C-alpha cells in the first residue's frame, strides 16, 4: 500500500486533552538535565516549586497524538520513519500547571521521488483549554524513507520546505557543555515516549545500536537548555523560536557541547557529542525576544 496525498492531508487527528501539574513540569526538567548542579540558581528554578519556571520545550510532550502512522489506512511504511527536524514557536510561556489541548494536522506532504522517500510536515498547536490562549506551535518534519513515488501518476505533491541555513563559518561566539546521565533515556521515556529502543538493549541491538539511544527530542531539549542558559539568563519568556535538524543519535551518559552564534536576536547553533566528536544536531536556529 502506498500513501495517498488527500488521505494524509485530511487525517482525522483527535484533539488531545492533557492536564499537567508542577510536578510533571519539574520531572520533565530533571529528565532533560536541568538541576544537574543542584545549587545553580538558574537550573534550580526549573526543578523547585518556589517560583517555578517551565522549559519552553516541555510543550513537545503535551497533546501528543500518539503513533498514528502505524494505522494501516495511512499507507505509511512506519518501520522506516525518521524524525528529521523539530521546531517550536513559543507564543506565551507555559504556566506551572494547566489543562491544554493539542491539535495536530499534516501541513505538507512532499514526494521526493521513487526510491527517495517522502516528507511529512506535521504541526501541533498547544492551547489552554479554559482560555483558548495559544502557548506554542510545534512543527515536526518526518522523513518517510519507504514512501517516495506516490505522485508518479499525476497526483499532487507539495513543495519541499526551505532547507534550514547552515551555521556560520566563524568560530562560535559561545560554547555551552552539558552532560547527560546514564539513565537519561529511562527518565525521558516516562514523559510520554516509551519506545523500547530507548530502554531495551535487545531492541536497540536489533536496530543496529550498541545500546539504547537517547530520544532525539531529549537531545533537542538539552540544546535549548544551553541556549536559554547562555543567551536568555534562563528566562523562558526570552525564547521565541527554536529549530534544529537531527543528524546522529546520542547515547545516555554522553556530553553534549552546543556551539552558539548570535547576530542580534537571531541565533544559530549546532550540538556535538564530546566523547565521539559527532554532530548530533545541526542547522539550528533560534529567535530571541
As a three-state string, the secondary structure of the chain is: CCCCHHHHHCCCCCCEEEEECHHHHHHHHHHCCCCCCCCCHHHHCCCCCCCCCCCHHHHHHCCCCCCHHHCHHHCCCHHHEEEEEEEEEECCCCCCCEEEEEEEEEEEEEECCCCCCEEEEEEEEEEECCCCCEEEEEEEEEEECCCCCCCCCCCCCCCCCCCCCCCCCCCCCEEEEEECCCCHHHHHHHHCCCCHHHCCHHHHHHCCCCCCCCCHHHHHHHHHHHHHHHHCCCCHHHEEEEEEEECCCCCCCCEEEEEEEEECCEEEEEEEECCCCEEEEEEEEEEEC
Task: Kindly tell me the sign of the dihedral angle through the C-alpha atoms of 242, 278, 196, 28.
Answer: negative
> Catalytic residue at 87?
no
> Catalytic residue at 198?
yes
> Per the residue annotation, which of 24, 43, 147, 193 is the catalytic one?
193
- For 123, how many CA atoms within 13 A lie in the half-sphere containing its CB? 10
Q: Which H/E stretch holds residue 62?
A: none
> Catalytic residue at 132?
no
> Per the residue annotation, which of 33, 216, 243, 256 is the catalytic one?
216
> Per the residue annotation, which of 3, 102, 111, 198 is the catalytic one?
198
> Per the residue annotation, which of 88, 122, 213, 260 is the catalytic one?
213
Please, are residues 70 and 78 in contact by the beta-carbon 8 Å criterion?
Answer: yes
> Catalytic residue at 213?
yes
Residues with a known catalytic role:
193, 198, 213, 216
Amino acid at each position: 500500500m502506498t500513501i495517498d496525498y488527500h488521505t494524509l492531508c485530511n487525517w482525522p487527528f483527535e484533539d488531545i486533552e492533557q492536564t499537567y501539574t508542577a510536578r510533571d513540569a519539574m520531572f520533565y526538567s530533571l529528565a532533560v538535565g536541568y538541576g544537574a548542579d543542584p545549587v545553580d540558581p538558574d537550573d534550580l528554578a526549573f526543578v523547585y516549586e518556589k517560583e517555578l519556571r517551565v522549559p519552553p520545550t516541555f510543550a513537545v510532550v503535551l497533546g501528543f497524538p500518539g503513533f498514528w502512522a502505524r494505522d494501516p489506512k495511512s499507507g505509511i511504511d512506519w518501520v522506516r520513519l525518521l524524525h528529521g527536524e523539530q521546531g517550536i514557536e513559543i507564543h506565551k510561556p507555559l504556566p506551572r500547571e494547566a489543562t491544554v489541548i493539542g491539535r495536530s494536522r499534516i501541513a505538507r506532504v512532499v514526494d521526493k521521488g521513487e526510491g527517495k522517500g517522502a516528507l511529512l510536515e506535521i504541526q501541533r498547536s498547544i492551547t489552554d483549554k479554559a482560555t483558548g490562549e495559544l502557548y506554542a506551535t510545534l512543527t515536526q518534519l518526518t522523513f518517510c524513507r519507504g514512501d517516495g513515488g506516490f505522485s508518479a501518476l499525476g497526483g499532487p505533491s507539495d513543495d519541499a520546505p526551505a532547507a534550514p541555513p547552515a551555521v556560520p563559518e566563524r568560530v562560535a561566539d559561545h560554547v555551552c557543555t552539558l552532560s547527560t546521565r546514564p539513565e537519561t533515556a529511562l527518565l525521558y521515556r516516562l514523559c510520554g515516549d516509551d519506545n523500547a529502543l530507548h530502554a531495551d538493549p535487545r531492541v536497540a541491538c536489533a536496530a543496529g545500536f550498541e545500546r539504547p539511544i537517547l530520544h532525539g527530542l531529549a537531545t533537542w531539549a538539552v540544546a535549548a537548555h544551553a541556549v536559554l542558559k547562555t543567551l536568555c539568563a534562563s528566562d523562558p519568556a526570552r525564547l521565541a523560536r527554536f529549530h534544529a535538524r537531527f543528524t546522529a543519535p546520542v547515547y545516555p551518559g554522553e556530553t553534549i557541547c552546543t556551539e552558539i552564534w548570535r547576530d542580534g536576536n537571531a541565533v544559530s547553533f549546532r550540538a556535538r557529542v564530546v566523547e565521539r566528536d559527532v554532530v548530533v544536531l545541526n542547522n539550528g536556529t533560534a529567535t530571541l525576544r
